[in-house]
Amino acid sequence: MTNNILELDHLRKNFGGVVAVSDLSLNIAKGAISSLIGPNGAGKTTIFNLVTGFAQPSGGHINFSDRRINGMKPHAIAGIGISRTFQNVQIFPNMSVLENIMVGRYLRSRAGMLYSCIFPPILRNEEKRIREDAEKQLHFLELEQYADTPAGSLPLGNQRMLEIARALALEPGLLLLDEPASGLNARETIAMGELIGKIKEMNVSVWLVEHDMDLVMDISDYVAVINFGGLIAQGTPAEIQRNPEVISAYLGG
């Protein structure tokens, strides 16, 4: 058993002739907050899509907890413990906040499709348990007062919190956050940073793509920098901030 929860091994992705990810090898440490930064179009979101099964790699491998996951479907990858949020919030706007989280707990419930068709009374207990779990989740994110509100009518900051809550409802080992602070104001960004810290304390490894450098440098244990789909540098935030290559390619730009 290694100390890495996720290993990318010579990962490649081409879209036609365009190389989005080129020969990327990168490890994500277990129990830590890792960040992935790079200029726009560097391939960050593509890497997240490859890891979560929304896109298939053109070459190379992805291992999660020493298990090869490339080629698996998104719902199967979610099933083994990788959860994610999107850059533009993906929630179920016309379902209530509580229902959004309950759907996130679907995989952790025993109520399979056949099962729930055959045993409706048992299902109701199941439903109650899921509801209680979801309420705990809401409490953790301090969103209780919105439980019955349609998710689409929440302010953006709370929608992001909700998306994270739904992702956490899956009880993932690894949580990928795609620009969690984009569109948030300063106060909301600070709250987001605190939340990510709390998630780490829950023993969930976090991998973050973010443009807000203050946030990244503040909360990350490790930072990796990519450009044109390839790795430029990796290390602790302090090392990255001193790295001349990074400064010229990105920070100093």
Partner 1 sequence: MNPAEANLVDLVQFFFMGIQRGCIYAMVAMGFNMIYNATGIINFAQGEFVVLGGLMMVSLTMALHLPIVLAFILTVLFVVVVGVLMERLTINPVKQPTVLRLIIITIAVSIITKGAAMMFWGKGSHYMNHFSSAEPLDFHGATILPQTLWIMGILLLVVAAYVFFFNFTMTGKCMRACSINRDAARLAGIDDRKMVMLSFALSAGIGAVAGIIITPVIQMDYTRGAMLGLKGFGAAVLGGLGNSTGAVAAGVLLGVLEALGAGYISSHYMDAIALVILLFVLFIRPSGIFGSSEAMRLKEF
CA dihedral sign of residues 142, 146, 147, 151: negative
CB of 79 to partner 1, least distance (A): 5
CA distances from 178 to 86, 206, 234 (A): 5, 11, 19
Q: H-helix or E-strand containing 237?
A: helix 237-242
Residue 156-195 contact track with partner 1, rule CB under 8 A, x = bound? -------x--xx-xx-------------------------
Site string for partner 1, 31-60 (x = CB under 8 A): ---------------------x-x------
**DSSP secondary structure code for residue 40 in this structure:** T
Looking at the Cβ atoms of 92 and 140, the one nearer to partner 1 is 92
- Distance between CA 16 and CA 252 in Å, rounded? 32
- Token digits of residue 221: 């244990």
> Helical H runs in 4-155?
44-51, 74-79, 97-104, 113-118, 120-140
When asked if residue 104 is in the footprint of partner 1 (CB under 8 A), the reply is: yes
Do 196 and 141 form a contact (C-beta atoms < 8 A)?
no
Q: Give the per-residue contact string, 123-142, with partner 1 (x = CB under 8 A; - = no).
A: xx-xx--x------------
Q: Is 71 in the site for partner 1 (CB under 8 A)?
A: no
Cβ atoms of 34 and 222 within 8 Å: the answer is yes
Binding mask 202-241 for partner 1 (x = CB under 8 A): ----------------------------------------
> Other C-beta atoms within 10 Å of 168: how many?
22
Stretch that binds partner 1, among 7-15, 105-113, 137-145, 226-234 (CB under 8 A): 105-113
CA-to-CA distance for 43 and 23, rounded, in angstroms? 12
Which residues lie near partner 1 (CB under 8 A)?
A: 52, 54, 73-76, 78-79, 83-84, 86, 90-95, 99-100, 102-104, 106-107, 109, 111, 113, 116-117, 120, 123-124, 126-127, 130, 163, 166-167, 169-170
